[in-house]
Amino acid sequence: MTQFDAIMEEHSKHLVRIAYLYVKDWATAEDVVQDVFIKFFQTQEQFRQEASLKTYLIKMTANRAKDHLRSWKYKKQVLFDNVFGQVRGIEEHVVENEQLKTLEKLLFELPLKYREPLILYYYNEQSIADIARDLSLNENTVKTRLRRAKQQMKGFFEQQEATEDA
């Protein structure tokens, strides 16, 4: 097993989950991670080891996922899905834990500027300083976005509970 294979083996599952939180589609998330590994393999000499390899790959994944969301291909697919309905694979029809599905649904209702710090803080367990550095934001801006994201999530849960009780 080569060093590159070991890196892929160690980080791929985690990176696919990160990418999924951005793009909301497992196949696309896998494509994003594949692109990240290809780019890393081609440009690995640019990795200056200022941060851990995991942090570097996560940042590459987040950036590639955001690039995908801005792409014409993605926008065209969203338009097509809205017009003709989305066709889903059989594995996506497997019933998952209801609480996780609800949380995921509510997380995706957040604007990206709130969703991203929330993911980095709770899912990647990054500090506010690290998030600020990675997103090129002020630490107070990150704190504000985290607070607003939590407030919105709380509001979503309260609204859902009120709907279920009615």
pLDDT at 32: 92
Total domain count, the chain: 2
Summarised one tens digit per residue, pLDDT across range 134-150 is 889 999 999 999 899 88
Instruction: Kindly state whether residues 90 and 109 are assigned to the same domain.
Output: no
pLDDT at 33: 93
Token pair in block for residue 166: 């009615």
Last residue of a domain, one of 38, 59, 94: 94
Which are the contacts of 69, defined by CB distance < 8 A and separation ≥ 6? Answer: 22, 23, 112
The burial of 21, by beta-carbon neighbours within 10 Å (0-12 exposed, 13-18 middle, 19 or more buried), is given as buried
Q: Which domain holds residue 148?
A: 95-166
Q: Is the pLDDT of residue 154 over 60?
A: yes
CATH number of the domain encompassing residue 121: 1.10.10.10
Confidence of residue 166 (pLDDT cuts 50, 70, 90): low
Instruction: Kindly state whether residues 80 and 31 are assigned to the same domain.
Output: yes
pLDDT at 84: 53
pLDDT at 79: 57
The burial of 84, by beta-carbon neighbours within 10 Å (0-12 exposed, 13-18 middle, 19 or more buried), is given as exposed
Instruction: Kindly state whether residues 11 and 87 are assigned to the same domain.
Output: yes
Summarised one tens digit per residue, pLDDT across range 16-43 is 998 998 888 888 899 999 999 999 888 8
Summarised one tens digit per residue, pLDDT across range 44-91 is 777 777 778 888 888 899 999 988 888 766 666 655 565 555 444 444
Q: Does the reported pTM lie above 0.85?
A: no
Instruction: Kindly state whether residues 85 and 156 are assigned to the same domain.
Output: no
Instruction: Kindly state whether residues 6 and 62 are assigned to the same domain.
Output: yes
Q: Nearest-CA neighbor of 71 among 113, 28, 42?
A: 28
Last residue of a domain, one of 39, 74, 94: 94
Summarised one tens digit per residue, pLDDT across range 89-119 is 444 444 345 666 777 777 888 888 998 888 8
Instruction: Kindly state whether residues 18 and 82 are assigned to the same domain.
Output: yes
Q: Is the pLDDT of residue 123 over 80?
A: no
Calculate mean pLDDT across residues 151-158. Answer: 80
Instruction: Kindly state whether residues 1 and 70 are assigned to the same domain.
Output: yes
Instruction: Kindly state whether residues 123 and 74 are assigned to the same domain.
Output: no
Last residue of a domain, one of 48, 79, 94: 94
Instruction: Kindly state whether residues 54 and 64 are assigned to the same domain.
Output: yes
